[in-house]
Every structure is written in structure tokens, then in C-alpha cells.
Structure 1
Amino acid sequence: MNAKTQLVRESKGFYKLSQFQRIGFGSGDLAQNLIYQTVSMYLLIFYTNVFGISAAAAGVMFLVVRIVDVIWDPIVGAFVDKSSPKMGKYRSYLILGGIPLTGFAVLCFWNGFTGSLAYAYITYVGLSMLYTLINVPYGALNASLTRDTDEITKLTSTRMFMANLGGLAVGYGVPIVVQYFSPDGKINSAASGQAWFITMTIYAIIGLFLLIFCYTQTKERVVMDEKETENVKVSDLWTEFKHNGPLRVLAFFFITAFAMMAIGNSAGSYYMIYNVQAPEMLPYFMALGSIPAFIFMPLVPAIKRAIGKKQMFYVFLTIAVIGMAMLYIISIVPSLRSQIWLVFVAQFVKSTGIIVATGYMWALVPEVISYGEHATGKRISGIVNALTGIFYKAGMALGGVVPGLVLAYVGFDNDNAISQSAFAEQGILWLVAIIPALLLIVAMFIISRYELDDEVIDKINHEIESRHEY
């Protein structure tokens, strides 16, 4: 391709991004994961064992917070699409939302009002609403950088690499930092409250600086002008959902994927402490939830070219199910459970499948945005990301309420920091392996209904660009 052709191609929306620009964009997901993953992996055990809330009460609270999100997300999506702040239509919220998000993240892990459900609700609802104020426009920012399908794949691979770097920093780092500051060296005792507060303060401040870096490295170039979006309203969300078939498929995939991840993540610490009886190995177990990303996410563009994106989903979702089956078998056979390396192998296999499948799903969001724009003439990225946000938070709601209710059902003793009954251990194993595996099987069926292959989406994007005058 000569320089002139490249210039024409870029002038019509198919922009090429440098690796540094991809890293800059991905740093936003790294920042959000320093908070999101900490909440996903550790907030439940903080609430039950440190803050002093029962597992059932915490599970109900997680559900209530997600119901609030169902109302709040479309409001944010419509507002973002209609507004054009001077600092950037989407990227401005990295700063405007990032500062208060940092404060609420820290307050969620403060033990100053021990056992107060009211305090827990206020801080967690506030955290979730502010997270939406960043996450929805950040998702829309992805689709505003370029229409180029290959670039979106590379961008998503880099983004997920960075996101899992955040997951690694949380999964491996948080228990170590908490243990370091905790007077009794534990993460699941009332005495560790101040250690959690210090740890979250460190992570939240680092996250804020990363959001600022993301802001400086991104440029919005594929956006609708103000006249085209001035009539965007919340009801457009449901109109888009009704008429955009690929969006519906992706939305339901998000539910199952995020429910699976939230359940597995929140149960991981319980599993290592009570089932495996190796709390000192928790950082390594949780780190293996992210490490495969650094091996396989850079290979995603090549894998997708070789076997296609649907087959890639099938292959890696199957790998995840195999890993969960391995984890279950190892855990119910005493002679195997004592072999910690087998637990780690199973966790690595499981995480490999989950990371690639759930990481690449974000590359489909710009596709369904373009599909909707092709059909309606409106590129309502905020609305679409709000809708996907509703569904992934619905998955998180399941992921939040299910562990709490299961733990309550099996009689989990939140005052015991060392051991649980055999029935409680079985319940934890359901959360680590059985329930997530069932959700992944459902996810495979859902993604089989997705019909936008690369040839179709490339044709759609070129037809959209041909409508504009340059």
C-alpha cells in the first residue's frame, strides 16, 4: 500500500495506531482493574471476615448494587453520547470520574464503621456509580480510535494484556501487601482492617495516575458530531437492543462470562485458605489467573487469523472447562489436593481459556456499534457500552449474590479464619469449579449465535464511511 492510499484509507476512519498508543489506551483498563479486580477478588472476604457482615447480607448487597447499575448505566450512556466536554467526548471522564473513584475505592476498604451495612451500601454504591462513569465512556473510546478491524484486534490484545497486568498486580500483590501491614499476618481477620485500607490507598492512587496517562495518549477520531447525537435519549438503549441482533448475542455472552469470572474470583481466596489449607500460596494461585495473558494475548491476532474468531471462542472456552474439571477432581481426591503443583496446573489451564475468550469479547463491542450505525445512521457508542455494561454487571450481580448465598447455605463460619466444615468446603468447590463450568457451557451456545465475521464487518465499515463526504 503506497503512502497516498494509506492516507486516503486513514482519512476515512481506518486509522493505524502505534504500539505506544495501544499501551496508552490499555493503561486505562490496567487502572480500572486495580480497583475492579480488588473488589471482584477480595471485597466479599473483606466484608465477611474483616468488616463483619454476614455472607448472606453481603450477597444481597451485591445484588442491590447491580440493580442500581441497571438504572444508572443507561443514564450515563445517553449523557456521554449527548455531551461533548472540552477535554474530550469520552476520554474526559478518565479524569472527571477518576478522582472521586479513587476516594470511594479507598473508603470501601476502610474498617472505621465495622459491621455497618449502611456504610457498606453507601460506599459500594458510590464506587459502582463512579466506576460506570469511567467504564462506559472508556468502552466507547475504544470504538472512537479507529474502524480498522485488524487494529481493533491488536488494540484489544494490548488492552487485555494491560488489564491482566492489573489482575496480576491485584491477585498476587494484594494478599502480600495486606499480610505485610497486617499485625497478625492474615488477610481474613478483623485485625487486618487497617492493612486493607493502606493497601487499597496505594492501588487506587496508582490507578489514578494511570487514568491520567491514558487520557494523554488517546485521540478520538471516529465520533458523531454534536448535531447527530443531540437527540440521543435513554430509550435509545432499548431500541438498539431490539434491532441489533449481534448486540443481543454479545450482551447475553457478557452476562454468563462475567458471572463466571465474578463467582470464580470471589471464591478463590476461600478455596486456597479453607480447601487447600495453604493461605501462604494464595498470591501464586491468584497470579495464575492473569499470567496466561502475557503468553497468549499477544498471539490472539495470529490465532484469530488462523482459525477464525468463533472457533477461537470454542477452543478457549473448552480449555477453561477442562481446567475447572481438573480443579474439581484434584480437590476431591485427598492425595491429589496435597500436591499444590497440580492445583496450580489446573488453575493455569482454566485461566488460559478464560483470559483469551473473555479478553477478546471486548473486540466485538466496536463491531456491534458499527452494525447499529450501519442500520440506523447513529453511532451511539455510549449507549451501546451502557447496554453491555448493564449485562456484564448483571453477570457481576449473579457473581456477587451467588457466592454469598451459597456460603450461607453451606454454613460458612466467618469467625473462623483457619478451617470450615466439610459441607462448607464443598460449597466453596461448587463456586470455584462446578458453577463456573456450567456457565461456560451456556456461553459457548450463546456465542455460536454471533454472525458478524470479519468480512461482514469490514464491508459494513466501508459502507458507513462511503456515506460521508470528505
Structure 2
Amino acid sequence: METTQTNQVKNKRTNKWQQRIGYGVSDLACNLIWQMISLYLLYFYTDIMHLSAASISLMFVVTRFVDGMTDLLVGYLIDHTNTRWGKSRPYFLFGAIPFALFAFLCFNVPDFSASGKLVYAYVTYFGLSLAYTLVNVPMASILPSLTNDTEERTALSTSRKFFAFLGATIVSSTALTLVAFFGNGNERIGFKIVMGIFGIIGCLLFFFTFFSVRELPMRSSKSVSLKTVFTSLKQNKPWLIFAVNILFMWTSFFIQSSALVYYFSVVVGNKTLSITVATIMSVVPMFANFFVPMLAKKIGKRNLYILSSSIQLIGLVIIMFAAKAVAGILFGAFISAIGYGIKESIYFSMQADPVDYGEWKTGVNVSGSLSAINGFLGKVAQAISGGLAGALLAWGMYKPGEAVQTGKAMFAIQAMYLYVPMILIFCSIITMLFYNLDKIYPTIKAELEERRNA
């Protein structure tokens, strides 16, 4: 009898770690592809495909807003999906191949005219964004279904961000080197091959996620109309605050990521340093991430978010004053990376809590739609950051491929990498001061458990 109980405990622990790893590698798959998009796609469009910064700026805005609508659709579909695999889990299986395929197509330069290349960029970028939605929205919507334990949710989110940072590290530390190796000096060929490799690996990792995670059996519920969804969300004050913060947080992240190569090539005058900084910004968060469960338990999720955002902001200030001093830049990047790593990890843990608040407040569980709207707001942030980045480069009259740029171009790139992100991080901190869900969450959790048991 004692041996049987011991085996059951061991199996439970094994299943828990299998699920943590399985859930975590989904973000490794995402980051192998999306980190390439964040760091190098704008550079690929302007310096390799030779599209104008102004046209790319408009493309980012248009495709992101249109694609954002698909987030809402996918979230609605998840809430109305009922399969033997669960509600969110099937999307990992069916979205993996399209995600990898469109990633590969995005980093190709077709033998078209300038206008034809722009149309090709629109189609492939929108296709990639749609495929990303199919696998990314379920990553958020499935979390409340994997466990009811808030500490285990933090552990799952920590695992997810560890693998996300691992993916980011792989891309930031190896991508340009691999591009040079496979392209033999031809970046056009190199980017295509590297993206193909990352796409295949990402696809296989999503298959692994599908086979490793299990959704909790949920009590059957009637279909929820869109009107009910939005009525529920309007009454969800913690989520409304969280939603505003999404715009500040992700706009800051995306515009800084897109400026990385430009900043170190043009402003600092050391393109190779961009690889080192990008690696710091992914390796350091990977390890800082391990302290999140302990810190969240000690000071609360909201307070940890505010603290880590403040640390990230201090790091950017250090980089700004360091100017071209390599030691100062690296120190600032290290500090910023600590804050960023903790902040992003706790952000994903916090996502699940407003779902429970909404169910407690209105009796309606809309995890799919809520996650989709969060994704939509992330796409809006990408649209804003992409449009703003392109507009700043166009305003500064940036000249692709030239080491010497105008003063306006230098200021535009500095604004993309430092000034705009710093302002947005400060706004994010102010916004989260009004988020008070942590204080009442234990009561909400207890009452929901009573309802579910009844």
C-alpha cells in the first residue's frame, strides 16, 4: 500500500514536470521564429529587400490591425471549441506547420518588381501573423485550464519564459553568425536558410507541446455570445487595467527590438556589439526568471511587476549615459535584462488571474476571448511600434547600408532604442499602480472552488 502511494506521488510529480516542460517549449518554438521577426525583419525589408521605410511603416500598421481582428476570432473559436483534446490544445497541432511555412516565406526575396515585392511582403507577413495567432493565443488561454493552483500557474509561466528566453538567446547569439555561414557572405540566402531551420524546429516543438500538456476536465457550459463576452469584460476592472498596460509594455519591447541593429551599427558604430547585447538581453532573463515564483509569493505579482519594470528602466538610463562606452553599455544591458526577465515572466503569470476574477464576478469563463483580446492588444502594440519605427526612420532620412547617417537619423534611432521605450515603461509602472487584484485573489479563488465543487 505504501509503495503504491509512493508511486502515485512520483507519477504526479513526473506529470507535473512533463506538463511544465511541454508548456514551456511552446514559447521556445514561438521565439525561434518571432525573435527573428522582432530583431531582423525590419532590417531585412530595408537593407536586403530594399523596400522603403515609409512603405514598411504603413504595412506594419495595416497588417497588424487587420491581424489583430483574427485574434478576437481565434479567441471566440477557442471558447466554442470542444474536443476530446480540450479547447486550446488542438490549435498547437494544427497551427504548427503554417507558422513554420510562413516564417520561411517571410525571409525570401522574390524576383519581383519593387511594388511586387511590397505586395509579397504584405501577404507573407500577414500570413505569418495569422499563423502566429493560431498557436500563440492558445498558449495564454490554456493556462487557467492546466491547473487551478495559482502557485503552479506561476511555475508554468516561469517554465514558459525560461524556454522563451532560451529561444531568444539562441536567435540573438547565433542568427547573424549562421546567416553569414550559410549565406557565405550573402545575407539574402543566409536569412532564408536560417529561417527555414528555425521554422522546422519550431514546428516539431509545437507537436511536443500538444502531446505533453493536458487540460483539466471542465464542466460543460452553454455557448457564450459575443455580447456576453464583452459585457463580462467591461465589468472586469483588473483586466481593463491589465489591458492598458499591455499597450505600454509591448510597444516598448517591439520598438526597442526593431532598433537593435540600427542603434549599434549607426549610433554606437559597432554592429558586432548588437549580438552581445541581444545575447545578454536573453541569457540574463533566462536565469532571473527562476526567482519569480519565490519573489511573487513574497511581495505579490503586481509589486514584483512594478519593481522589475523600475529595474529595467534604470538599465536603459545607464545605456543612455554610457553613449559609446562599451563597458557602460554592457552594464546597463545587464541591469535592464534582469528587470525585463522578471517583468515578462510575472506578466504571463498575471494573465490568468483576471480570467478567474471575471468568472467570479459574472459567472462567465471567457479565457479564450480574454486571451485573444490580450493578443489583439499585443498586435496593436506591434502595429504602433512598427509604424512609429518606420516613420522615425523615414523622418530621419535613414539611408540603408550607409555607416554615416544624418543627425536626424541618429536621433530617430536613439528615440527608437532608448527614449520611446523609457517613456512607455514609466507609463506602464504608473498604470499598474491601480491594479489591486492580488489583495482579493485568495477570496476569489476560495469562492470559485466552492462553486465548482457544488
State the Cα deviation string for residues 10-38 of structure 1 (Å, max 9, x = none): xxxxx996233211110011111111111
Kindly indicate whether the alpha-carbon contact (under 8 Å) linking 1:16 and 1:146 is maintained by their aligned counterparts in 2: no
Instruction: Compute the displacement of 1:135 (Å).
Output: 1.0
Distance of 2:78 and 2:266 partners within structure 1: 45
Kindly indicate whether the alpha-carbon contact (under 8 Å) linking 2:75 and 2:369 is maintained by their aligned counterparts in 1: yes
Kindly indicate whether the alpha-carbon contact (under 8 Å) linking 2:57 and 2:391 is maintained by their aligned counterparts in 1: yes
Matches for 1:57-456 after TM superposition, within 5 Å: 57-113=55-111, 116-184=117-185, 191-221=186-216, 223-225=218-220, 229-331=221-323, 338-416=324-402, 418-453=403-438, 456=440
TM value normalised by structure 1: 0.90
Instruction: Compute the displacement of 1:266 (Å).
Output: 0.5
Q: 1:141 to 1:179 in 2, by over 3 A?
A: same
TM value normalised by structure 2: 0.93
Instruction: Compute the displacement of 1:393 (Å).
Output: 1.4
Distance of 1:436 and 1:73 partners within structure 2: 25
Distance of 1:98 and 1:197 partners within structure 2: 19
Q: 1:408 to 1:386 in 2, by over 3 A?
A: same
Distance of 2:384 and 2:218 partners within structure 1: 34
Instruction: Compute the displacement of 1:469 (Å).
Output: 4.3
Distance of 2:103 and 2:218 partners within structure 1: 31
- SS of the residue corresponding to residue 142 of structure 2 reads helix
Equivalence for 1:12: none
Kindly indicate whether the alpha-carbon contact (under 8 Å) linking 2:89 and 2:138 is maintained by their aligned counterparts in 1: yes
Provide runs of 4+ in structure 1 moved above 4 Å. none
Distance of 1:129 and 1:244 partners within structure 2: 27
- SS of the residue corresponding to residue 214 of structure 2 reads coil
Kindly indicate whether the alpha-carbon contact (under 8 Å) linking 1:24 and 1:217 is maintained by their aligned counterparts in 2: yes
Instruction: Compute the displacement of 1:304 (Å).
Output: 1.8
Q: 1:128 to 1:230 in 2, by over 3 A?
A: farther
Equivalence for 1:335: none
Instruction: Compute the displacement of 1:63 (Å).
Output: 0.7
Instruction: Compute the displacement of 1:177 (Å).
Output: 0.9
Distance of 2:146 and 2:424 partners within structure 1: 33
**Which of residues 442, 450, 454 in structure 2 aligns to 1:466?**
450
State the Cα deviation string for residues 134-180 of structure 1 (Å, max 9, x = none): 11122111111011111111111111111111111111121111122
Kindly indicate whether the alpha-carbon contact (under 8 Å) linking 1:80 and 1:382 is maintained by their aligned counterparts in 2: yes
Equivalence for 2:10: none
Q: 1:17 to 1:396 in 2, by over 3 A?
A: farther
Kindly indicate whether the alpha-carbon contact (under 8 Å) linking 1:257 and 1:358 is maintained by their aligned counterparts in 2: no
Distance of 2:452 and 2:428 partners within structure 1: 37
Distance of 2:264 and 2:404 partners within structure 1: 11
Equivalence for 1:47: 45
Q: 1:19 to 1:87 in 2, by over 3 A?
A: closer
**Which of residues 1, 5, 25 in structure 2 aligns to 1:27?**
25
Distance of 1:172 and 1:71 partners within structure 2: 34
Distance of 1:415 and 1:234 partners within structure 2: 49
- SS of the residue corresponding to residue 411 of structure 1 reads coil
Between 248-257 and 229-238, report the one with greater CA deviation. Answer: 229-238
Kindly indicate whether the alpha-carbon contact (under 8 Å) linking 2:162 and 2:287 is maintained by their aligned counterparts in 1: no
Between 40-49 and 302-311, report the one with greater CA deviation. Answer: 302-311
Kindly indicate whether the alpha-carbon contact (under 8 Å) linking 2:25 and 2:160 is maintained by their aligned counterparts in 1: yes
- SS of the residue corresponding to residue 112 of structure 1 reads coil
Distance of 2:111 and 2:84 partners within structure 1: 40
Aligned residue pairs: how many? 443
Unmatched segments (≥5 aa) in structure 2: 6-12
Q: 1:116 to 1:233 in 2, by over 3 A?
A: farther
Q: 1:70 to 1:88 in 2, by over 3 A?
A: same
Kindly indicate whether the alpha-carbon contact (under 8 Å) linking 1:145 and 1:222 is maintained by their aligned counterparts in 2: no
Instruction: Compute the displacement of 1:234 (Å).
Output: 3.5
State the Cα deviation string for residues 78-126 of structure 1 (Å, max 9, x = none): 1111012344321111110111111001000011245611100000111
Identical residues among aligned pairs (%): 31
- SS of the residue corresponding to residue 293 of structure 2 reads helix
